[in-house]
Amino acid sequence: MSDVTIRPATPADIPAITAIYGFEVREKTASFELTAPDEAEMQRRLAALAGGGFPYLVAEADGRVAGYAYAGPYRPRPAYRYTVENSVYLDPAFYRRGIGSALLAELIAQCTARGFRQMIAVIGDSANAASIGLHKRAGFAMIGIHPDVGFKFGRWLDSVQMQLALGEGGRTTPAATSG
């Protein structure tokens, strides 16, 4: 892996983040969105997650944004408050250079430090071997496949779910805000 810097995303990163995600929406099945969001929407999403106390990271390599990763609420109901869902996206020019692994490792560390106990990966398309492999290497376990729940590019797509316990996971009751 070349020199990679992982840092919090800023509004200045939005054009690169929007381009990376737009490619995924238009060309691939990692996202089940059908229309790529514009920069204003991607800025709104960044602000909402960062403002909600969730990590949103970018990886810089070769002088530009090579990828990004973030965690957000897994589900909106309060009993899920210790569980996050993660996302990792890379510029195709930076595939297979270890940047996804570096982003995911830092995301896991930051979520653990913030007191989250479980991380769920919801992977679009069971044929997405790269994302499934990335999560397996990070210690995620396969917890299920929802067959044929998305329809994109004229075909049905599965949704894969993988899970990783963070910190104490479910072995102990969270302090201070248990309920």
In the chain, what percentage of residues exceed pLDDT 90? 95
Cβ–Cβ < 8 Å for 150, 32: yes
**Residue 103, token pair as written in the block:** 């982003």
- pLDDT for position 155: 96
- pTM, two decimals, is 0.94
Measured between alpha carbons, how far is 7 from 136 in angstroms, rounded to an integer? 24
Instruction: Give the DSSP per-residue string, 152-164.
Output: ETTEEEEEEEEEE
Q: What is the mean pLDDT of the chain?
A: 95
Quick one: DSSP state of residue 44?
Answer: H
What are the E-state strand segments in the chain?
4-8, 56-61, 64-73, 83-90, 118-124, 141-152, 155-165
Measured between alpha carbons, how far is 84 from 138 in angstroms, rounded to an integer? 16
- Going by C-alpha positions, the residue among 15, 1, 101, 115 that lies closest to residue 55 is 115
- All structural domains of the chain, each given as residue ranges with its CATH number in brackets, are 4-165 (3.40.630.30)
Q: With bands split at pLDDT 50, 70 and 90, how would you rate the model's confidence at 175?
A: confident
pLDDT tens for residues 76-88?
A: 999 999 999 999 9
Measured between alpha carbons, how far is 99 from 116 in angstroms, rounded to an integer? 23
- pLDDT for position 176: 61
Tell me the one-letter amino acid at 142: M
**Residue 147, token pair as written in the block:** 């067959």
Res 1 pLDDT > 60: no
